[in-house]
Amino acid sequence: MPERDIYLLSARALSPETIAVAFAKTSRAPESFREIAAELSDEKSAQFHEKWVVGYGHASVAEHAVLHIAFENVSRVAIETIESNRLASYTEKSTRYQKWGQDDFTIPPELEGHPLRDEFIQTVRLLFSTYAESLDPVKDLILGRSPHRENESDEVYDRRIRSQYVDSCRFILPAAANANVGVTANARVIEMMIRKMLSHRLGEVRQIGEKTKEVAKSETPTLVKYADVVPYLVETFKEIGELEIGNLDIVNRQSDWCKLIDYDKNGEKKVLAAALYRFNEMPFTDAFAYVKSLKKKERAALADTILVKLGRFDVPMRELEYCNYTFDLVMDQGAYAEFKRHRMMTQTPQRLSTRLGYTIPRLVTESGFGSRYEAAMRSAIKMYEKLVEFNPDVAQYIVPNGFNRRVLAQFNLREAFAFCQLRTAANAHYSIRRVAQKMHEEISRVHPLLTKYMKLRDEPWQQVEENYFTKI
């Protein structure tokens, strides 16, 4: 019997395109991966990809070529497009632990030569200076309330309190603020990312797409060289944006900020039936009929069997994915920056706007900085209204993190476990904790049988509002 062997094809020795070919050729070649790789050159790999990936459409081969791309000093507006690709990994500069300097922002290229450019810069600088001036008053408030813990070093203490006062001051930062983000993805995803960026309505994003293509070609010259503008995206988005749909008012009903608009009424029964299906031999319809025939206590016992042993960091069984939910949400942009990281969800965010109002963190008010904060927000509103007449997409750059944004989200129960447990933890930002607690409340209302196994912090969303916000 052949001896089992598990080893790396090192990216230090082989190019990403060569590794992709070595894996691809094993489907038809009897040799080991080492032997296949040893026979390949960059030229032969390029020829293979040109023939099979490009010529015959075997695009999955490109998934074996992995790239690590660093994006520096790009706006948070642009980062949303960069991070909108589901099958990739991202690490972004944190608004919780880092502070922003006065010049850390992007001027949209659309404003070059435009009369509003100077006023835009003045407003952004006002927001940044207000942000900088808010840090010390809020920090002083925290210092008075959070003394050193026993045996806590100055370094650890500084890091702990920094996360508290920087967290609250971040609401002032506009979407024009720059950040860095590291991306790891395979060449197929990178190609789709480039196509999406080159087809974008914003000039900054298109520029980033061009540079990303240039950088990616140095490692995967064949796999991304045909990435180009997608007319479908350009033309369809333009036409939808120009549709006349009547005079619909912008509404921000406080009671509707977290609305469960659709869910599978048989979702719990489907999950239980799917779990039985896995370990038996009956058709799903029979498994579902059996679950429906059970008494309430019997279904509860079955649910207990499936989930009672679930640990805090365990991933529930995949059968929970047969139960789905759709939410219409309103949350501040700071919360959405964390919400969007849950890429297993299907998310449709609306453009950034100042028209749904803004939140005021309680620490800012209690530090005596509330009036300055609100003055800065009013300046952003004034600038936004001028910009939106010119270009609604460009107007997004001036919108601070504290303004509310609407987003449609659809996800399954398995993802609900991941999201609700992670984002209600004590170390999660209070903006996203509020959202996660309210979403959990809505899901539990319709599906109490399974959601009771979620391990959440005992902190209702109403308590989060009371403890951390002066205004929502």
Q: Which pLDDT does position 6 carry in this prediction?
A: 76
How far apart CA 339 and CA 201 sit, in angstroms, is 23
How far apart CA 457 and CA 441 sit, in angstroms, is 13
How far apart CA 382 and CA 43 sit, in angstroms, is 57
Q: Which pLDDT does position 52 carry in this prediction?
A: 60
How far apart CA 395 and CA 438 sit, in angstroms, is 30
**190: number of Cβ within 10 Å:** 28
Instruction: Mention every residue, 6+ apart, whose C-beta is less than 8 A from residue 53.
Output: 59, 61, 62, 222, 223
Assigned CATH topology for domain 260-350+405-471: Gyrase A; domain 2 (3.30.1360)
Name the packing angle between helices 430-446 and 461-468 (round to 10°): 160
State whether the Cα torsion 457-297-304-324 is positive or negative: negative
The half-sphere exposure of 271 on its side-chain side, counting CA atoms within 13 A, is: 26
Q: Which pLDDT does position 155 carry in this prediction?
A: 87
Please report, for the chain, the start and end positions of each structural domain, with discontinuous segments joined by +. 1-64, 260-350+405-471
Q: Which pLDDT does position 313 carry in this prediction?
A: 84
In this prediction, the residues of the chain whose per-residue pLDDT falls under 50 are: 56
Q: Which pLDDT does position 269 carry in this prediction?
A: 98
State whether the Cα torsion 35-36-39-41 is positive or negative: negative
Q: Which pLDDT does position 372 carry in this prediction?
A: 97
**341: number of Cβ within 10 Å:** 15
The structure tokens listed for 188 are 């197929």
Q: Which pLDDT does position 249 carry in this prediction?
A: 60
Name which of 221, 209, 188 is nearest 65 in CA terms: 188
Question: Could you tell me the pTM of the whole model?
Answer: 0.91
The structure tokens listed for 11 are 């990216």
How far apart CA 262 and CA 410 sit, in angstroms, is 9
Tell how strand 178-186 and strand 66-75 pair up: antiparallel
Q: Which pLDDT does position 55 carry in this prediction?
A: 60
